[in-house]
């Protein structure tokens, strides 16, 4: 800007100077022309007076250098010319100044002489005898005068130029100084040019807006960082070259990154080939996913391209813990396989017996036992299907099953009543002790808890063994326990017996009509009631299963 102002000032100064010089030249030229014209008029008058007095003698010995004198008779013939032979000269009657002098007594004209390549000023006076005396002078003399002034003018120009440069430097610095000193952090506190005030106000309002937007952006960034930072899922954002833009703490933990990794290539952080493969694809615009093992757990890694108007801008890697999902999937697969297996065995038996009966290959005496076998297997299948239905209901959280107040002691009594025949057949005694205890729950599920525990206590009991159901009501909880004097459960099986289809002794379970689902149903039903389950057992001595129901407040 200083340079521009400097250049402008210099340009203005030079232009003004040149214009002044031209103007002066024009004015001087006009002035000198006027002076020359008046002098010519005077000289013509004086010469005319001389010629009137002396006639042709006036010209004798006359020395004129600047002027040219011509005497012309009334017919236009040249009588005398100071520079040419009068006899050789053409008639001058048609010359403008001569014509005018003939008419009015005095005439003037300016003409360019092609022969002398000069511009001349002519003045003519008519003499009393009708002749005309004409004087002319070259106008080049004025130009010569003016050219004589060029040299001093050049000196003046040089001095003016130097002064202009010095002044321009000073002035431009002075003009720019307040602009250079503007404090853009506090635009309205500046004292400078009034003309700048609208700009400063604008800058101030834009600064405020920018600050506001920056604060908003920072807040959003903070929010985003907090969200990403507190996510249980790992998240890595990468630019289009695969370099890390951000990595949340979960991703750091999973990838074992303890150092600052922003700006590094993903390759230098993780060499997992699966991650590399889906990352490369995502940077080419193709989403991908892989399940990989990290920290002993299963993680699903999703790689998605970040696509903007200009194409792929980067990629986002998300790490989801799918261990539970995988386990559930595994369990479902195992459950389906187990169900198929459990159903296949009784179905084979039923179809085998039925085939023998159909082909009349059974002795009449054996028909009844065979039919009994078919009935038994069908019962086992019915039991299995019922258990599966109960379990799938429990898997859905026992939705739609109404809750109500249930008295556990009476419930245990009804269980004992229905299991008495089974207990009798197994030579096991059943007893109920304790006090009435009311809990809020789903009657069918509470019944199946007591029934299954009691059923197991009979099934896995010894000859002449006993089963005791005890119900106690406390302030904070109602406690139901089923103790038996049976075979007991080895410690290594205790955690697993609640799994679906897990049996300690498969053949014994089958022999006593077990489906392997009883304790699973108990476990789920207990969960639905927010109750807790405890198992104490000693091999050869017996087992006690205790269920604690929390009392509803109020
Ligand atoms: P099942 O239909 O085979 O009885 P459960 O899920 O009810 O299936 O029980 C799983 C396994 O736990 C049984 O097969 C049995 O081996 C063991 N078990 C359950 N209750 C008892 C108990 N009271 N005493 C000894 N073993 C038991």
Instruction: Decide: 84 and 68 in contact? Cβ < 8 Å.
Output: no
* Whole-number Å distance between alpha carbons of 112 and 138: 10
| CA 135, 138, 142, 144 torsion-angle sign | negative
Ligand 1 center to 348 CA (angstroms):
24
Ligand 1 center to 456 CA (angstroms):
6
Q: What is the Cα gyration radius of the chain?
A: 64
In testing the pocket of ligand 1, which one of 519, 537, 543 has its CB within 8 Å of the most ligand atoms?
Answer: 519
> Which distant-in-sequence residues (6+ apart) come within 8 Å of 258 by Cβ?
252
User: Given this model, what pLDDT does residue 118 score?
Assistant: 79
- Domains assigned to the chain: 2-148 (3.30.450.20), 188-216 (no CATH), 231-321 (3.30.450.20), 325-392 (1.10.287.130), 398-550 (3.30.565.10)
Specify the DSSP element, H or E, that contains 61.
Answer: none
In testing the pocket of ligand 1, which one of 391, 450, 460, 483 has its CB within 8 Å of the most ligand atoms?
Answer: 460
Long-range contacts of 63-71, Cβ-Cβ distance < 8 Å, separation of 24 or more: 66/137, 66/138, 66/141, 67/40, 67/43, 67/135, 67/136, 67/137, 68/135, 68/136, 68/137, 69/133, 69/134, 69/135, 70/133, 70/134, 70/135, 70/136, 71/131, 71/132, 71/133, 71/134
Atom of ligand 1 nearest to the CA of 500: 6
C-alpha distance from residue 80 to each of 59, 92, 131, 314, 489 (Å): 8, 12, 11, 108, 165
User: Given this model, what pLDDT does residue 3 score?
Assistant: 83
Residue of minimum CA distance from atom 19 in ligand 1: 456
User: Given this model, what pLDDT does residue 276 score?
Assistant: 92
Task: State the pTM of this model.
Answer: 0.55
Ligand 1 center to 430 CA (angstroms):
18
Atom of ligand 1 nearest to the CA of 542: 24
Beta strand residue intervals within 51-128, DSSP E: 67-72, 78-81, 106-113, 118-126
* Whole-number Å distance between alpha carbons of 431 and 415: 11
Residue 457 in contact with ligand 1 by CB distance below 6 A: yes
Residue of minimum CA distance from atom 23 in ligand 1: 457
With 0-12 CB in 10 A as exposed, 13-18 as middle and 19+ as buried, what is 240? middle
Atom of ligand 1 nearest to the CA of 520: 6
Residue 497 in contact with ligand 1 by CB distance below 6 A: yes
Of 218, 219, 295, residue with least CA distance to 251: 295
Instruction: Decide: 484 and 542 in contact? Cβ < 8 Å.
Output: yes
Look-up of token digits 């159909």: 358
Residue 518 in contact with ligand 1 by CB distance below 6 A: yes
Residue 465 in contact with ligand 1 by CB distance below 6 A: no
Q: How many CB atoms lie within 10 A of CB 189?
A: 10
* Length, in residues, of the chain: 554
Q: How many CB atoms lie within 10 A of CB 531?
A: 21
C-alpha distance from residue 468 to each of 380, 382, 487 (Å): 26, 28, 15
Of 400, 404, 381, 402, residue with least CA distance to 392: 400
Instruction: Decide: 106 and 98 in contact? Cβ < 8 Å.
Output: no
Report residue 93 as tokens: 């009657």
Of 121, 98, 155, residue with least CA distance to 37: 121
Angle between helices 2-54 and 150-180 (to 10 degrees): 160
Instruction: Decide: 468 and 434 in contact? Cβ < 8 Å.
Output: no
Atom of ligand 1 nearest to the CA of 519: 6
CA dihedral 168, 174, 177, 179 (to 10 degrees): -80
Look-up of token digits 């980067």: 314
Look-up of token digits 């360019």: 112
Ligand 1 center to 479 CA (angstroms):
21
CA dihedral 367, 370, 374, 377 (to 10 degrees): 160
Ligand 1 center to 196 CA (angstroms):
93
Residue 377 in contact with ligand 1 by CB distance below 6 A: no
Specify the DSSP element, H or E, that contains 273.
Answer: helix 273-283
| CA 517, 523, 528, 531 torsion-angle sign | positive
Ligand 1 center to 458 CA (angstroms):
10
User: Given this model, what pLDDT does residue 115 score?
Assistant: 64
Ligand 1 center to 406 CA (angstroms):
26
Give the distance from CA 404 to its chain's centroid: 56
Residue 458 in contact with ligand 1 by CB distance below 6 A: no
* Whole-number Å distance between alpha carbons of 439 and 454: 19
**What are the residue ranges in the chain where pLDDT is below 70?**
115-116, 141, 552-554
Report residue 209 as tokens: 């807006």
Residue 516 in contact with ligand 1 by CB distance below 6 A: yes
Beta strand residue intervals within 420-541, DSSP E: 429-434, 438-441, 466-473, 477-484, 532-538
> Which distant-in-sequence residues (6+ apart) come within 8 Å of 531 by Cβ?
547, 548, 549, 550
Pairing of strands 466-473, 429-434: parallel
User: Given this model, what pLDDT does residue 174 score?
Assistant: 85
In testing the pocket of ligand 1, which one of 454, 502, 509 has its CB within 8 Å of the most ligand atoms?
Answer: 509
* Whole-number Å distance between alpha carbons of 248 and 334: 36
Atom of ligand 1 nearest to the CA of 484: 23
């Amino acid at each position: 800007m200083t340079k521009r102002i400097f250049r402008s000032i210099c340009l203005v100064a030079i232009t003004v100077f040149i214009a002044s010089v031209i103007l002066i030249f024009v004015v001087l030229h006009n002035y000198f022309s006027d002076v020359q014209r008046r002098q010519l008029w005077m000289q013509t008058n004086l010469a005319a007076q001389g010629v009137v007095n002396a006639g042709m003698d006036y010209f004798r010995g006359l020395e004129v250098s600047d002027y040219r004198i011509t005497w012309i008779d009334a017919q236009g013939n040249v009588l005398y010319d100071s520079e040419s032979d009068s006899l050789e000269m053409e008639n001058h009657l048609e010359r403008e100044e001569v014509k005018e002098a003939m008419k009015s007594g005095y005439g003037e004209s300016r003409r360019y002489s092609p022969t002398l390549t000069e511009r001349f000023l002519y003045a003519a006076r008519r003499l009393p005898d009708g002749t005309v005396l004409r004087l002319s002078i070259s106008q080049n003399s004025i130009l010569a005068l003016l050219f004589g002034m060029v040299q001093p003018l050049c000196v003046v120009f040089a001095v003016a130029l130097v002064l202009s440069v010095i002044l321009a430097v000073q002035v431009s610095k002075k003009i720019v100084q307040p602009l250079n000193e503007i404090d853009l952090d506090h635009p309205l506190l500046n004292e400078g040019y009034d003309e700048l005030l609208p700009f400063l106000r604008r800058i101030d309002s834009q600064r405020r807006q920018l600050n506001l937007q920056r604060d908003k952006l920072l807040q959003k960034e903070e929010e985003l960082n907090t969200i990403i930072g507190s996510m249980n899922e790992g998240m890595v954002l990468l630019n289009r070259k695969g370099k890390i833009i951000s990595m949340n703490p979960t991703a750091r933990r999973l990838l074992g990154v303890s150092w600052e990794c922003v700006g590094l290539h993903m390759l230098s952080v993780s060499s997992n080939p699966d991650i590399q493969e889906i990352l490369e694809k995502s940077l080419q615009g193709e989403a991908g996913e892989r399940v990989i093992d990290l920290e002993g757990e299963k993680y699903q890694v999703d790689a998605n391209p970040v696509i903007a108007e200009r194409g792929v801008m980067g990629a986002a890697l998300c790490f989801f813990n799918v261990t539970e999902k995988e386990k559930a999937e595994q369990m479902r697969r195992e459950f389906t396989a187990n169900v198929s297996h459990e159903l296949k065995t009784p179905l084979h038996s039923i179809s085998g017996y039925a085939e023998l009966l159909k082909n009349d290959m059974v002795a009449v005496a054996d028909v009844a036992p065979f039919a009994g076998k078919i009935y038994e297997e069908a019962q086992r299948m019915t039991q299995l299907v019922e258990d599966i239905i109960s379990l799938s209901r429990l898997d859905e959280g026992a939705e739609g099953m109404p809750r109500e107040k249930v008295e556990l002691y009476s419930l245990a009594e009804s269980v004992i009543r229905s299991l008495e025949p089974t207990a009798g057949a197994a030579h096991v005694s059943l007893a109920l002790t304790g006090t009435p205890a009311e809990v809020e729950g789903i009657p069918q599920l509470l019944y199946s808890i007591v029934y299954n525990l009691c059923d197991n206590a009979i099934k896995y009991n010894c000859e002449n063994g006993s089963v005791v159901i005890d119900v106690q009501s406390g302030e904070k909880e109602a406690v139901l326990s089923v103790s038996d004097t049976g075979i007991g459960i080895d410690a290594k099986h205790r955690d697993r017996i609640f799994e679906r289809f897990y049996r300690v002794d498969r053949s014994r379970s089958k022999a006593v009509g077990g489906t392997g689902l009883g304790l699973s149903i108990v476990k789920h039903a207990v969960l639905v009631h927010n109750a807790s389950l405890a198992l104490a057992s000693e091999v050869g001595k017996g087992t006690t299963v205790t269920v604690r129901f929390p009392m509803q407040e109020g």
